[in-house]
Structure 1
Amino acid sequence: MARKSRTLTPEEFDRLIAAIPEQHRLMVQTFIETGMRWGELIALRPRHIDFLRREVTVEETIVEVSKKHSPTGERYLVKPYPKDNEPRTFGMRQPWLDAVAAHIQSHDVDRDDLLFPTKAGTPISRNTFRTRVWLPAVKASGVDFPVRVHDLRHAHASWLLSGGSDLKSVMERMGHAQIQTTQKYLHTLPGADQKNLDALDRISTRPW
């Protein structure tokens, strides 16, 4: 029998982010704040962020390929549109915008530079990040299930729905082509069913 999937809770994320090395912490926080796919996250640049409107636009993704399968010989290919071929724009919270603005200033990041590159200025390899940063942090955090990097995207959608966001807006934010994909994230946090019971208590007038 397949293991039932778990959703990372906000409390577990707090433990996990505390175990992430400082230089990668904002990137991981961006992952949970945006729910982006990995390729979209590592393709993020300052020009994709509108600080006045407090919005981010996802319009590129970076794909990692073997050099022999690359038409240009490059290891990373920048594609102008993410999955489902549709750019999307969504709002961001002010504390994240402030943290990114400080990061851009302190690291002298130009408008078209990658926001979270390697020291050499290249995109971060997913496998390298997983083995050198992610897995050690998961172990150190004491979170009691094998959290994957992609689980942050799942957690983002689950947290939004648990917090009261509607399916349509979460679908658009996540870049899902079908609303059925978004529906998978309903009622995935512990205690979700208790909210249903609380709702019945609020609406019902008949005493037992």
Structure 2
Amino acid sequence: EIDEEPHTSILKATDMGMDMHTRPPKLMDRVKATMRVKRYSPRTEKTYCYWIRFFIRFHGVRHPASMGESEVHAFLEHLAIQRHVAAATQNQALNALVFLYRHVLDQPLGDIGDFSRAKRPRRLPIVLSHDEVMRVLDNLSGPMHLMATLMYGSGLRVLETCRLRVRDIDFDRRVITVRAGKGDKDRTTLLPSSCAPALQQQINTSRDQLGYRLKQASVPVSLPHALNRKYPTAGLSLSWQWLFPASRPCFNDEGDVVLHHIHPSAVQKAVKRAMRAASLQRPGSCHALRHSFATQLLSQGTDIRTVQELLGHKSVETTQIYTHVLGSEFAGVRGPLG
């Protein structure tokens, strides 16, 4: 890792009366601390740290403070021309470096110049018919079946499904609350009536598991930010329990033993196996279930703004991609052969 001042020698530090144990924090430690202060998600933190390390290695382990716009320009060119990364990947790397220079080094980047941008090809989402989704669900069981059903019936992302807590389910209003979704935004979406019995059973399972943990080691669930310090008993209350907990406890950042939610990769693997077993002509992923939710609503005549709100899209232009899948933009035009 890169020290805060890489050219400062040990002798100089000793002359200044600095002890080796009180040296300034290393660069990556500062990056992580700054991101946590600004409440960036753990996934963003991991991604930004990856690109910053990649940038440093690309330039021969030089400290970023000694580099600037020209080095960033060369790095982005390398990603597009030599590595052939997608446009979203190149933008991700650029965002990480902009964050580093603006918020960590206090050296905002100036004009990077015109660099070769990775092309953003137009791609249509993979959408399944209702019958195809039912065939996929028939190859799932238990919690995995319920999670896939919620992705299709409520339009949830896989991570949003994994993060559901007991408190997020409102049976009276038939509403599911998605908390800290993409962009750290909350929203509400539909609770399918067909899922209500399975959800109630899952809540009962969470209640039984909580009772067992209280009799054993009283392991709490992981809580967002500093909520465990503000409400010390919240992690052992039913309302904060994960609907889909992990199989075993783990350590959080503070070193405490907590119970986290199921990892998204486990759900993704289960859904992919189910799609292969269903022999689909267009096999997709968990996100295909969310795409199918949107297209089903639009085909039923649901207003596109409503679909936008249910999906949590920032712009209606993002939601409009589903109209291309449906072919609704053709306005009833027929080809010369019918």
Q: Output the TM-score relative to the length of structure 1.
A: 0.73
Contact 1:162 1:187 in 2 (8 A): no
Structure 1 segment 150-165 matched on structure 2, within 5 A: 150-165=287-302
Which structure's residues are more often strand, by fraction?
1
State the one-letter code of the partner of 1:175: G
Q: Give the CA RMSD over aligned residues.
A: 2.5
Q: Does 2:153 match 1:33?
A: yes
Match of 1:111 among 217, 233, 239: 239
Distance 1:84 1:130 in 2: 21
Distance 1:154 1:88 in 2: 18
State the one-letter code of the partner of 1:49: I
State the one-letter code of the partner of 2:148: V
CA separation of 1:196 and 1:98: change in aligned 2, threshold 3 A? farther
Distance 1:141 1:11 in 2: 11
Unaligned runs of 5+ in 1: 60-80, 198-208
CA separation of 1:123 and 1:103: change in aligned 2, threshold 3 A? closer
Distance 1:125 1:87 in 2: 21
Aligned to 2:188: 89
Distance 1:86 1:107 in 2: 26
Structure 1 segment 1-208 matched on structure 2, within 5 A: 5-59=125-179, 81-108=180-207, 110-120=238-248, 121-131=259-269, 133-189=270-326, 197=332
Deviation, structure 1 residue 2: 8.2
CA separation of 1:92 and 1:128: change in aligned 2, threshold 3 A? closer
Unaligned runs of 5+ in 2: 1-120, 209-237, 249-258, 333-338
CA separation of 1:22 and 1:86: change in aligned 2, threshold 3 A? closer
Q: Output the TM-score relative to the length of structure 2.
A: 0.47
Contact 1:84 1:175 in 2 (8 A): no
Deviation, structure 1 residue 151: 1.2
Deviation, structure 1 residue 187: 4.8
Which of these two proteins has the greater Rg computed from alpha carbons? 2
CA separation of 1:129 and 1:92: change in aligned 2, threshold 3 A? closer
Which structure's residues are more often helix, by fraction?
2
Deviation, structure 1 residue 114: 0.9
